[in-house]
Amino acid sequence: MRKEAADIRKLKKYKPTRFMAEGSAYNRELADLAVSFIGCLKHTKGEWYGQNFELIDWQEQIIRDLFGIVKPNGYRQFNTAYIEIAKKQGKSELAAAVALLLTCGDMEYGGEVYGCASDRQQASIVFDVACGMVEQCPALKSRIKPVLSQKRLIYKPLGSFYQVLSAEAYTKHGLNVHAVVFDELHAQPNRQLYDVMTHGSGDARKQPLYFLITTAGNDVNSICYEVHQKARDILDGRKIDPTFYPVIYGADEADDWTSPKVWKKANPSLGITVDIEKLEAACESARQNPAEENLFRQLRLCQWVKQAVRWMPMEKWDKCAFAVDPEALQGRACYGGLDLSSTTDITAFVLVFPPEYEGDKYVILPFFWIPEDNLDLRVRRDHVPYDVWEKQGYLKTTEGNVVHYGYIEKFIERLGERFNIREIAFDRWGAVQMVLINDSSKRDAVEPSVEKRFLDFVKNDETYRECYDGMFILFKTGLRVSELSGLTLRDIDMKERTININHQLQTTGHKGKYIEETKTNAGTRILPMTEEVYEAFQRVLANRKAPKVEQIIDGYSGFLFLDRRGKAMVSYQWEKRFQRAVEKHNKENKRKLPKITPHICRHTYCTNMAKSGISPKTLQYLMGHSSIEVTMNVYTHLGLADAKREVDRLEAMKEINEKEQAGKWFRMA
């Protein structure tokens, strides 16, 4: 049966929130205006489609509290609202209605209202609902100009707009925010976007509003849990913040998750947007399959759980925790286990120290690695704080976009000098891969003669000469290939002769092309051009054929390197061109070239710069490395001959200085 508006449970008598500050007052006119505005909108989905948005009692309570309670100066008391509630309670519809209210009904000229989520697709859910509401409201439809390519709704009478933002935080500085609607805050991979959008962005506005709406999560180290804890502290009276409005509909940890009474506590829209029969079915399924229990508790009861799927009870896992002093284990017999990965998994090496006496415990020393270039991508994809774990020392990274097996092998060798490693168990596939990689690791940085032969071939080849300048720039700047792909006309300052690196262009099969921030904070940098690099960019700019329509990717356009269709070139296209150019050279010439990739160009640049005598810290900056250790240990393939040259250079400089000093004393005499 189709549900009617009459089925909605309405607010019988409004009572202002207990968090109304001293001196604040309830302005019924403002509250009625907000409720009436939302009431003019229509639902956009399912059995409610086309019906007026009649607020459910809990929704109206929130709207009246937020928009009706004002300070003595007449502006809203609350500028942050945290709404934590189970799924299917009408979150998206409420968020969309609030976004339109703030854009059109708040009388803020030039107001900037942004919709944010863990990714652009998630943020678009609320935006699409808002578009559906506008489409069904003639008064709004005639006054709102949709710019769907930019995910933007412009309210023409005020010049205000509501727009979806992608998750890359580095592009959001400088926004003059009137309001932010944050959907599913628990899915944020890190705190960057939240911090950028809420800290200082609305200072120029009289009454900004940050509307945060989410279900519970399973990561107690996330920004959402931090905000959740603040809301809980305010609700329990442990903290006071008159600007923060907390609402949490969820079961307590000690509650019986199978009880219908608990379900009603966590689902205020039960019987309206969610049928109790569906909850009963989901609960029964979780009873029969323990792996579903935590998902039911998290999504249906809005409980924070420590893992999405319960494999082992956390209380048993926690009992295994005790402090371990690696120094006290030196020289002790142990056994290793190695599980190698390439790009998508975590590489792990674990040392197990068996008990030495009765009552002693097994001691575990684990070590984990992922590729450095994939760190931020994995944070967003897996919703796991790998970046935080890296800073805390729980996780290590290897340079590049695949795990550097040579680095891991040397790491294990160093462990063998400290501990008595008797045996190492391993996956045969991974072991073979390690051997193959180690055989080729000496070719990571190519010799200058090889670099010149390759570039000369490309420059004079009819097929690949169009790629010459891009390949030349990779060899001479050490740019990551994703950084090169992301370069736009705005990033090249030919007057100052600098390259501005503050983003990179990535691509995936399901997502397509997208912009993301540099791999680390150190990756954001400005590089000076040498004369030959400057000339290469001159040629690139002169030869760039502007397409009929410039491709726009997450707000970026004017990409410097385009393929034959006029689209921005991405990493795999560059890699294919390198591969095929080497293959063609080796078919036509007896002297063969080794494997050359864009990342080998980066290796080569770093090694050449190190050999030139540049300071390590300067080289670290040029490479955009987060750690000087990476700069020194991974890329700089220096040997005895290089050491001898450096000693000879220092001796020569010493002799010159001594002669200059002697000449100075002679002239004085």
* 265 is annotated as an active-site residue: no
- Closest by CA to 408, choosing from 368, 442, 352, is 368
Q: Strand 244-248 to strand 152-155: parallel, antiparallel, or no bridges (unpaired)?
A: unpaired
Q: Running DSSP on this structure, what letter comes out for residue 305?
A: -
* Cα dihedral 444, 447, 450, 454 sign: positive
* 635 is annotated as an active-site residue: yes
Q: Could you count the other beta carbons within 10 Å of the beta carbon of residue 669?
A: 5
- Closest by CA to 215, choosing from 263, 193, 183, 240, is 183
How many residues are recorded in the chain? Answer: 669
> Strand, helix or coil at 68?
helix
Per DSSP, the residues of 257-304 read TT-HHHHHHH-TTBTTTB-HHHHHHHHHHHHH-GGGHHHIIIIIS---
Catalytic residue among 210, 464, 556, 635: 635
Catalytic residue among 480, 513, 577, 585: 480
Catalytic residue among 186, 265, 378, 625: 625
Cα gap 98→96, rounded to integer Å? 5
- Asked whether the beta carbons of 251 and 297 are under 8 A apart, the reply is yes
**Residues near 3 by beta carbon (within 8 Å), at least 6 away in sequence:** 47, 48, 272
- Closest by CA to 426, choosing from 437, 434, 438, is 434
Residue listed under structure tokens 């940050």:
210
Catalytic residue among 514, 599, 603, 605: 599
- Asked whether the beta carbons of 588 and 523 are under 8 A apart, the reply is no
* 519 is annotated as an active-site residue: yes
Catalytic residue among 178, 519, 577, 603: 519
Q: Is 352 exposed, middle or buried (0-12, 13-18, 19+ CB in 10 A)?
A: middle
Cα gap 381→378, rounded to integer Å? 5
Alpha-carbon Rg of the chain, whole angstroms? 30
> Strand, helix or coil at 162?
strand
- Asked whether the beta carbons of 485 and 570 are under 8 A apart, the reply is yes
Cα gap 149→131, rounded to integer Å? 13
* 480 is annotated as an active-site residue: yes
As annotated, the active-site residues are: 480, 519, 599, 602, 625, 635
